[in-house]
């Protein structure tokens, strides 16, 4: 099982200690705290043997298509290990351009069943980043039943929603104040905070609590999950977490001290053990 990370700054990419990184691409990524230019990506790729994945997960508009075409051709040449995609235009462009670049199905809240994973696999998609609103039981079932290579995000402040609208700008305009690019909003019923960030693509929503999936890594490992992902944003002592997690995996996830130690990340396990409902009893 490999450990991919998504960093929250350009200061430290942790390439020495992880198996690979996910780099958001300037202007074409959303739900990421930091993004990289194509030149920066080339330089990183040229200086490491670790796996490099690129995130192009915005909802693409017509005007984006020609530019994305050029980007995909360039990424194919560079030899990155995969492109996380949301918009199906990416899959179509790969086919039209005859590119060999691997793709990661990354439709944030939609990657929820093994049959659709297999559908994408049949279309040449190698990986799927599973949804974060499904249970561990569902995740294991997908890993076991689908031919696609599953990726599971185990530590992060999860992405909750994305709007094309400039919601922070609008809020501050109504207030008559100068805007910030970030805003914490507090939901009263659940007494929980959400972080909003805004850029030229729109507004991203994150749950402002770290999901702590360190306790499920062993079960993922035992079920032959190929990749887990940790995102740096909001996580303290991230470097130590990566090192410890790599050691934990190397030792077949039998070190109980690891799980005990990382209880410090908090007790939020998101939907790993909580099933959502959709029919409300009347």
Partner 1 sequence: MKRIELLSPAGDLERLKVTLLYGADAVYIGGQSYSLRANANNFTIDEIREGCSFAHKLGKRVHLTLNIVFHNEDMEEVEKFIKDVVDAGIDAFIVSDPFIISHIKTNYPNVEVHLSTQNSTSNYEAIKFFESEGIDRVVLARELGKKEISEIIDKVNCDIEVFIHGAMCTCFSGRCALSNYVTNRDANRGGCAQVCRFSFDTDESKEFTMALKDMNMAEYIGDLIDIGVTSLKVEGRMRSLYYLATVIGTYREIIDRYYEGTLTPLVMKVLQERLDRVANRETSTHYFMKEADWTDQYYTGRSEVSNQDYLGQVIEYKDGLVKFYERNYFEVGDTVELFTPSGEHISFVVSELYDSDMNSVDVARHPDDIYYLKLDSNISIPEYSMIKIVERKN
Which residues form the interface with partner 1 (CB under 8 A)? 59-62, 64-65, 86-89, 91-93, 95-96, 107-110, 112-116, 118-120, 131-134, 138, 141-142, 145, 160-167, 169-171, 173-175, 177, 183-190, 192, 194, 205, 207, 271, 274, 276-280, 282
From 42, 52, 103, 108, select the one nearest 74 (Cα to Cα).
42
Q: Which is nearer to partner 1, 178 or 257 (CB)?
A: 178
CB 29 within 8 A of CB 57: yes
DSSP tag of 152: E
Tell which residue, 54, 42, 112, 111, has the closest CA to residue 84: 54
Nearest distance from residue 265's CB to partner 1, in Å? 18
12: which 2 tokens?
Answer: 């430290």
First to last CA, the chain: 45
Give the residue among 205, 10, 234 at the shortest CA–CA distance from 109.
205
The whole-angstrom separation of Cα 24 and Cα 71 is 13
255/207 Cα distance (integer angstroms): 29
Place of tokens 């185990």: 154
Return the sign of the alpha-carbon dihedral for residues 27, 29, 31, 36: negative
């Amino acid at each position: 099982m490999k450990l991919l990370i998504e960093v929250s700054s350009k200061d430290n990419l942790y390439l020495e200690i992880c198996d690979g990184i996910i780099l958001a691409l300037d202007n074409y990524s959303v739900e990421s705290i930091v993004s990289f230019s194509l030149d920066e990506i080339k330089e990183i790729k040229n200086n490491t043997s670790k796996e490099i994945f690129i995130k192009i997960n915005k909802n693409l508009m017509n005007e984006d298509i020609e530019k994305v075409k050029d980007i995909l051709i360039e990424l194919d040449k560079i030899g990155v290990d995969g492109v996380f995609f949301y918009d199906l235009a990416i899959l179509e462009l790969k086919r039209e351009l005859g590119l060999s670049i691997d793709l990661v199905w990354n439709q944030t809240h939609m990657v929820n069943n093994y049959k659709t994973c297999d559908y994408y696999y049949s279309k040449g998609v190698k990986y799927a980043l599973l949804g974060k609103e499904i249970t561990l039981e569902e995740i294991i079932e997908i890993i076991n039943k689908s031919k696609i290579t599953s990726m599971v995000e185990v530590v992060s402040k999860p992405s909750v929603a994305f709007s094309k609208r400039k919601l922070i700008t609008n809020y501050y305009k109504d207030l008559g104040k100068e805007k910030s690019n970030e805003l914490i909003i507090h939901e009263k019923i659940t007494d929980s905070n959400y972080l909003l960030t805004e850029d030229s693509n729109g507004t991203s929503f994150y749950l402002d609590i770290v999901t702590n999936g360190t306790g499920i890594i062993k079960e993922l490992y035992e079920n032959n999950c190929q990749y887990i992902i940790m995102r740096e944003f909001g996580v303290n002592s991230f470097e130590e977490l990566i090192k410890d997690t790599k050691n934990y995996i190397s030792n077949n996830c039998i070190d109980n001290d690891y799980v005990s130690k990382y209880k410090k990340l908090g007790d939020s396990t998101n939907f790993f053990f909580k099933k959502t409902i959709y029919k409300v009893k009347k």
